[in-house]
Amino acid sequence: MGSLSFPVDLSDIQTKLNPLVQSILASPAIQSAKPSSAADGFAVILFLFSALGYLTHGYVWDKPDPNRGVWFERPQLMDGTSSGRVATTRDISQKLAEGDHHCVIFWGSQSGTSERFAETLGRECLSHFGINALVADLSDYDAHSISKIQSTHFAIFILSTYGEGDPSDNTAGLWDWIKQVVDKKTKVESLRYLAFGLGNSNYKYYNRVLDVVADALDNAGANALMPRQKADDANGSTEEDFQAWKDDLFTLFRQLGFEQKTVKYVSTLDLTFSEETQNEKWASPATSLIHQQTSTQSAIVPLTIKSAQELFSAGDRNCIHMELDLGNQDVVYKTGDHIGIWPCNPEEEIERLLNALGAQSRRYKTFSVKSDNKSVKAKVPSLTTLDAAFRHHLEICAPVARKTVQEVAQFAPTPAANATLLEIGQSRERYEQLSSSTHITLARLLQLASPTEPWTGLPLAFVIENLLSLQPRYYSISSSSVIAPRRIAVTALVVNKTIGDKSSTSTIHGLTSNYLLSASDIASNAAVPTPSYQQISHGQGLPGSKVLAHVRKSKFKLPITSSTPLILISAGTGFAPFRAFLQERAKLHVIGKPVGNILLFFGCRNKDDFIYRGELDKIQSDLGGKLKIITAFSRDGAKTYVQDRVDENASEVLELLDAGANMYICGKASMAREVDMKIEDAVSKAKGLSEAEVKAWADSLKKRGKWKADVWG
């Protein structure tokens, strides 16, 4: 309620109030009735005050806030100048003209890769060719204004595809406009454009967003300056695919008359070291990690490990079940959500990088970071140490892109090191040969090129600029929020990938899975040693250990009605969310609620890898015949995969779908794609449907939430 404010112009109030009061007092009822008691008199007075309060609302009390409209303005539409808030245009053609830009680089990104590529390309367009490029979030502009871009400019689209061929959240406006272009046969003949897509060929709709957008623009008369190209993350070649496309793009720029310049490295970051030295416990990773809390993901919090156990009964691999206590943290989760685990980098790789840079003496010295480019997002806190930056903020274990190999050569401590890096970086074949046999982190690359001389001439700003930000790794939560609302279960396969041949091999350790193994106090079954990690703990041993994590909402949810039948299809740790689903259904059945039939497909290597087998037996017993389990073992005699079992039992799957069942698929994208094909082939044969009709049938189930997938590359 607003506070009283005087002076107030009462003339308007009096004008409204007088006729009402006079009419009430002159009414026969009031004239003939006189208060028979003090209570009646009080009631009349109360009525009059109520009328007065009603008529003075908005004039004397609860006055509207004159700045209320500002609450609803988009932050990106305000420039924050002292002269007042000025809305910037959402018309991209107008923005290009006002800023004297040659082109716009649009990015559509869900995880940040497309955004990073766009920012990199924008900087290099200016530094290499003098091309003033506007790097633009698609959601910051009205998509229909793209049609007004004149042929004096051009547009570059860098678009990601994720999930079931879906556009990123910030691409929604473009997606809607593209549909209108197709439906209304809109023409965009003045538009010149280039397009690059990010996707994964393991997924059914590989780079669908790129193809839909580019096809629509081509059909609308736009001029594609060169053929669209695609990155494929299925084999980890996204960075290399982007570099190859960029090489072709730069060739095009030269053909268009732009002169390419020899570029010397100029840092966008200013690092200032102080003489103050901090101990290794100085920076709290929980408060210094750069993470945006949103409506779909919580804040990062330290969660205590309550218990951990090994799920595999034999073999040379580990699969961990870990219970994390939410305690009094202001974080909640719902069954089917994801947990993002924030790992730290292993001690061995931190030491290797500090030694390669010759920076051990500055390891714990604090430094400040400032950027002269407002569009560049911070990767490390403004005040930190090299130890904290390399431990908590930068992906020092990630492979180095070929572009970085070329650029780092200019800082080589010896001519031989320079020659080695140029030989690797200038040949895609040589680079791919090395990366297929060696895990090329930045530290290992520097030591490979110069085994004895440290890289003291390599600017630390260059290192921070070229390393990726450390990102969380997501796991499907394997506990039910109904059964355990304040405890989150994580099911993690520990990954150790061997590359190379018999003469030379290298191991790539899964960063987060090995981090969890280290924190769990479970012995490793692998032939190679587990990396060492700094643990967050109060005291020694598992009971005090913590991990940093946040919860991300998911649409992978059970139907509201418990009597809805379920089809659950999973392989390996893809069973994780289904453990939670089955726990809930079993609980409902035990307390007398109606529960629909459940058909569970589960695939793994062999019976030793059959995770949660004991729990499943109990749940099956509790459900009293409602749960049917069909297993597939790929390395136990005949190679049988979960998609084979789905094919064998396709008639039962279709029968349940026709009865209104919800179908869920969780596991690797390649498995999900094969399952989709088996089901679509089965419905085509069973119902005599054409390919188009099958697609319409599947799309209808997905749109109604009856067919859901939670898959990864």
Does residue 311 register a pLDDT over 60?
Answer: yes
Q: Report yes or no: 369 and 453 within 8 Å, Cβ to Cβ.
A: no
Per cent of the chain over pLDDT 90 is 69
Does residue 690 register a pLDDT over 60?
Answer: yes
Q: Report yes or no: 453 and 459 within 8 Å, Cβ to Cβ.
A: no
Q: What is the pLDDT of residue 420?
A: 96
pLDDT category at 681 given cuts 50, 70, 90 is very high
DSSP assignment of 197-231: EEE-TTSTTTTHHHHHHHHHHHHTT-EESS--EEE
CA 421 – CA 240 distance, rounded (Å): 16
Does residue 349 register a pLDDT over 70?
Answer: yes
pLDDT category at 99 given cuts 50, 70, 90 is confident
Q: pLDDT per residue over 131-168, tens digit each?
A: 999 999 999 999 999 999 999 999 999 999 987 788 98
Does residue 607 register a pLDDT over 70?
Answer: yes
Does residue 89 register a pLDDT over 90?
Answer: no
The pTM score is: 0.78
Q: What is the pLDDT of residue 141?
A: 95
Q: Report yes or no: 471 and 395 within 8 Å, Cβ to Cβ.
A: yes
Does residue 3 register a pLDDT over 60?
Answer: no
Q: pLDDT per residue over 219-260, tens digit each?
A: 999 999 999 999 998 877 898 899 899 999 999 999 999 999
Q: Catalogue the E-assigned strands of 278-429.
A: 301-310, 319-325, 338-342, 365-371, 383-385
Does residue 435 or residue 43 have the better pLDDT? 435
Does residue 16 register a pLDDT over 70?
Answer: no
Count the residues in the chain: 713
Least confident range from 39-48, 518-527, 647-656: namely 39-48
Per cent of the chain over pLDDT 70 is 85
Q: What is the pLDDT of residue 55?
A: 64
pLDDT category at 284 given cuts 50, 70, 90 is low
Does residue 465 or residue 542 have the better pLDDT? 465
Q: What is the pLDDT of residue 139?
A: 92
What 3-state DSSP class applies to 646?
helix
Mean pLDDT score of the chain, rounded to an integer? 87
Peptide bond before residue 343 is cis, with ω within 30 degrees of 0:
no
Q: What is the pLDDT of residue 485?
A: 97
Q: What is the pLDDT of residue 539?
A: 46
CA 16 to chain centre: 58
CA 583 – CA 566 distance, rounded (Å): 13
DSSP 75: G
What 3-state DSSP class applies to 549?
strand
Give residue 685's identity as a one-letter amino acid code. Answer: K
Structure tokens at 420: 């080695």
How do strand 473-476 and strand 133-137 relate by DSSP bridges? unpaired
Q: What is the pLDDT of residue 542?
A: 55
CA 665 – CA 698 distance, rounded (Å): 14
Does residue 33 or residue 81 have the better pLDDT? 33
pLDDT category at 330 given cuts 50, 70, 90 is very high
Least confident range from 40-44, 630-634, 691-695: namely 40-44
pLDDT category at 56 given cuts 50, 70, 90 is low
Q: What is the pLDDT of residue 477?
A: 98
CA 278 – CA 276 distance, rounded (Å): 7
Least confident range from 74-78, 136-140, 376-380, 590-594: namely 74-78
Does residue 73 or residue 399 have the better pLDDT? 399
Q: What is the pLDDT of residue 337?
A: 97
Q: Report yes or no: 674 and 202 within 8 Å, Cβ to Cβ.
A: no
Alpha helices in 474-563 (DSSP H): 511-520
CA 452 to chain centre: 40
